[in-house]
Amino acid sequence: MAESWKLVLPCTRDEAERIEVEGEALAALEPPPVLMTSERVEDDPDSWQLEAFFDAKPDRRTVAAIRALVPSAADTDADPERIEEQDWVTLSQQGLEPVHAGRFYVHTSTNRGEVPAGAVPFLIEAGLAFGTGQHDTTTGCLLTLDALKRGGANFRNIIDVGTGTGLLAFAAMHLWALARATASDIDPRAIDVVRENAAANGVPLGSGPGRLALAAAAGLDHKLLIDRAPYDLIVANILAGPLIELAPMLATALSPGGTLVLAGLLEKQREQVERAYRRHGLRVASRIAGEWPALRLVKRIRYGAGRTTRPGPRGTGATPDFGSW
């Protein structure tokens, strides 16, 4: 029987919420560990812990990669311990509660529970990629998309940038079933996860209306993503730094009057993110407040020669800066 090992490190709530399951720190670990975070002391943001489970005893390099996820544990002893053999992926999901956000109900295979009447369920397994619905940023995006639909918004060309599990793309496709939809992520493994989740949730893949096209790309740096622009709805649930860096690219890819939904930033980073997008012609239309806010921005409509257009089937059009993605 294969061995099972566990590494436990103290951390803060902020560090726990910043852990990226598919981030660079874990990308080289094969097989990847199963990570679980939890409170050690209720309602104390400085008393959390990170548990990492392994199929074999982790070497020093692996321990260092896990320790790097929680800088506050730098001076803590990191001694892996051998434990009883278990299915840690399944175990990690048993502690997760389903998320009911707007009309959407997100669950794993082990916590389906009773789907509320009228809710749209999505099966998204935990631990595969960021964006399970458990995190406030994902929930904020689901609530924002739901509010847009309830307010009568209609979109025809949608992209989910940094898609993770594909959940937000799936939700947008449910709300605007005739739209062309695209999902991208910088990590090719996340795209594999999206394919699996699409199959599990009956989401059709492809390039036409009502189907989801996929691309692995940094930002929008991919021919498919450029060719499908401009988008009238862009969703980007990533981190504040990349959001600021991507501001020129996302603003250019958004059609005049189009909507941009941003999340992944902390409240203390909000003004800096908003300022980056105001510089590129967007205004904040609404926000969901909280420690992890979700922002809804709208691109101002410009008239005259300065506006950005795309080539049509019978014309060339002007496309300033599109080639710089």
Which residue ranges make up the annotated binding site for S-adenosyl-L-methionine? 138, 162, 185, 237
- The region that residue 43 occupies, defined by phi over 0 for left and psi between -120 and 50 for alpha, beta otherwise, is left
Residues 12/38, Cβ–Cβ less than 8 Å: no
- The region that residue 193 occupies, defined by phi over 0 for left and psi between -120 and 50 for alpha, beta otherwise, is alpha
User: Within 10 A of 298 (CB to CB), how many other CB atoms are there?
Assistant: 17
d(Cα 101, Cα 144) in Å, to the nearest integer? 9
d(Cα 142, Cα 168) in Å, to the nearest integer? 7
DSSP bridge partners of 10: 49
Main-chain dihedrals φ then ψ at residue 226, nearest 5 degrees: -70, -45
Q: Taking the CA of residue 85 as centre, how many other CA atoms within 13 Å lie in the half-sphere pointing to its CB?
A: 5
- Cis-peptide, bond into residue 71, ω within 30° of zero: no
- List residues forming the annotated binding site: 138, 162, 185, 237
Angle between helices 136-150 and 167-175 (to 10 degrees): 10
Indicate the burial class of 77 (C-beta count within 10 angstroms; 0-12, 13-18, 19 or more): exposed
DSSP bridge partners of 37: 50
Amino acid making up residue 1: M
- Please name which of 244, 16, 13, 276 lies closest in space to residue 130, comparing C-alpha atoms: 16
